[in-house]
Amino acid sequence: MKTRMKELRKSLKKTQESFGNSIGLSRSNICNIESGLINLTERNIKEICLTYNVNEDWLRTGKGEMFQKLSSDDEFNILVGKLVAEEDSFKKKVIEEMLKLDDEDWIFIEKFINKIKS
């Protein structure tokens, strides 16, 4: 499991510290897990799978895909959640303001986007 956790972390482009912070572990714990000195706990496994939508069977055994398949609605909700959780106040403000738009505003935005796409 240690090699799969490291493979996952690297695929997410996370440092040991940022990966550890996201699942409630220290950098040294992540280092020790990846080195095989300590094992992941059940709680750690569940947290990794929930936080990063990881296929638990893949993490435990290497079978299947690294990530679970998501519906487009689930993917959208995750992306919006990440944007709202970011510390970048501009991104957060854009999302907050977009949520206030009425139907007429959305029609205008759709026309604008279609125009710049073509």
pLDDT in tens, the chain (118 residues): 889 999 999 999 999 999 999 999 999 999 999 999 999 999 999 999 999 999 999 999 999 999 998 888 988 888 878 777 777 788 888 888 998 999 999 999 999 999 999 8
* Sequence-ordered list of residues with C-beta below 8 angstroms from that of 9, at least 6 positions apart, any chain: 16, 19, 30, 34
Domain with CATH 1.10.260.40 in the chain: 2-61
Fold (topology level) of 2-61: 434 Repressor (Amino-terminal Domain) (1.10.260)
Per the CB < 8 A criterion, the answer to whether 92 and 83 are in contact is: yes
Percentages of the chain per state (helix, strand, coil), in multiples of 5: 70, 0, 30
- pTM of the predicted model as reported, rounded to 2 decimal places: 0.63
- Integer CA distances (angstroms), 14 to 17, 22, 94, in order: 8, 10, 26
